[in-house]
């Protein structure tokens, strides 16, 4: 069976959904993948050090994994201003 690719815009970003043989694989948001690639490119070009790129990537991943309702409410309040 050929894998089916689709773009999903739910869950806070544009994600790529790959479905094959009843298995679904959803990537992190494309915007995040581009951020990680940019950090890798900066580190490869020796503009930033690898440990700094790694720390930024891990921090970004951890922030994305946490669900903080207070931060969400703050963001919504700032949007109304």
How far is it, in rounded angstroms, from Cα 42 to Cα 27? 22
Per-residue pLDDT reduced to its tens digit, 24-47: 888 878 888 899 999 999 999 999
Residue 20: is its pLDDT beyond 90?
A: no
Per-residue pLDDT reduced to its tens digit, 41-75: 999 999 999 999 999 998 888 877 776 666 667 77
Q: 53: which residues sit within 8 A by CB, 6+ positions away?
A: 39, 40, 42, 43
Q: How many residues would you count in the chain?
A: 81
* Global confidence as pTM: 0.63
Show the DSSP H helices in 11-49 as ranges: 30-44
């Amino acid at each position: 069976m050929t894998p089916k690719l689709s773009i999903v815009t739910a869950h806070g970003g544009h994600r790529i959904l790959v479905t094959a043989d009843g298995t679904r694989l959803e990537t992190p948001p494309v915007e995040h993948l581009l951020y990680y690639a940019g950090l890798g490119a900066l580190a490869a070009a020796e503009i930033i050090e690898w440990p700094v790129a790694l720390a930024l990537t891990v921090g970004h991943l951890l922030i994305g994994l946490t669900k903080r309702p207070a931060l969400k409410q703050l963001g919504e309040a700032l949007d109304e201003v």
